[in-house]
Chain A
Amino acid sequence: AQKVTQAQTEISVVEKEDVTLDCVYETRDTTYYLFWYKQPPSGELVFLIRRNSFDEQNEISGRYSWNFQKSTSSFNFTITASQVVDSAVYFCALIYNTDKLIFGTGTRLQVFP
């Protein structure tokens, strides 16, 4: 079965703390793509990052970093020095069979000042 699991329903941190959002996926495909999306309180879905199954290099973009490990089928997302503006629901997603895009249940991050 193809599946994305985000076990953390809600995380609360205080500003400047580091926080890691977990994502575990299941797929039988050898070629697949993983994504993270952000949904701020305004409701729109914002693309953050894409990673294909052949590229396990970690990526850093400013305060954001992503750790992709095929051995554990995980694609975790870390925010360093969190800010109030990072408060949102974050979704991990998987494309398999070249065209089916499925999402995890999301993790709500609340960053308090």
Chain B
Amino acid sequence: DAGITQSPRHKVTETGTPVTLRCHQTENHRYMYWYRQDPGHGLRLIHYSYGVKDTDKGEVSDGYSVSRSKTEDFLLTLESATSSQTSVYFCAISESGGRPDTEAFFGQGTRLTVV
């Protein structure tokens, strides 16, 4: 199994509070992704990173920020959590998105509930 760990695995937080989810990898992969999974929407890309300090927005980036100060860690922050951000969040890693011999490996997911 690819070395990818998400923390926390479950979190309940109140509306308006900041929340940070962490994705940690031990594979030294270049690419890291954050997705949210919601019924009827599948997996939607929030932000991704293609190297240390290099990040870009995905389809649903509003209300989220990310940081990657080390290869192994990719943090997702909800600056002020809202109920619409209740979701399951997945982190993924990939050596290189366009290389033919790589695929994305996923963490186990973080279930976030905003009340």
Q: Please list the residues of chain A having a beta carbon within 8 angstroms of any beta carbon in chain B.
A: 6, 9, 31, 33, 35, 37, 43-45, 47, 50, 52, 91, 93, 95, 98-106
Please pick, from A9, A44, A47, A98, the residue contacting B97 in the complex, using a CB distance under 8 A. A98
Q: Which residue of B lies closest to A103 (CB)?
A: B43
Cross-chain contact A102 with B45 (CB below 8 angstroms): yes
**Could you list 15 further interchain pairs (A-B, Cβ under 8 angstroms) beyond the known A95-B98, A101-B33?**
A37-B106, A45-B106, A47-B105, A50-B103, A91-B43, A93-B104, A100-B48, A100-B56, A101-B92, A102-B45, A103-B35, A103-B42, A103-B43, A104-B42, A105-B42
Nearest B residue (CB) for A9:
B40
| B contact face: mostly helix, strand, loop, or mixed | strand
> Are the CB atoms of A103 and B44 closer together than 8 Å?
yes
* Smallest Cβ-Cβ distance to A98: which chain B residue: B98
> Once bound together, how far apart are the Cα atoms of A35 and B100, in whole Å?
11
Number of B interface residues at 8 Å Cβ cutoff, please give it. 28
Residues of chain A lying within 8 A (CB to CB) of residue B41 = 105
Main secondary structure of the interface of A (DSSP, over half): strand
A100 touches B97 (CB 8 A): yes
Given contacts A44-B108, A52-B100, contact A101 B45 (CB under 8 A): yes
Are B42 and A31 in contact, CB atoms less than 8 angstroms apart?
no
Q: How far is the CB of A94 from chain B (nearest CB, A)?
A: 11
Q: Contact between A47 and B103 (Cβ–Cβ < 8 Å)?
A: yes
Given contact pairs A95-B98, A98-B97, A98-B98, A45 touches B44 in the complex (Cβ within 8 A):
no
Contacts of B97 in A (CB 8 A): 33, 95, 98-101
Partner of B58, one of A33, A52, A100: A100
Residues on the B chain within 8 Å of A31, using CB: 98
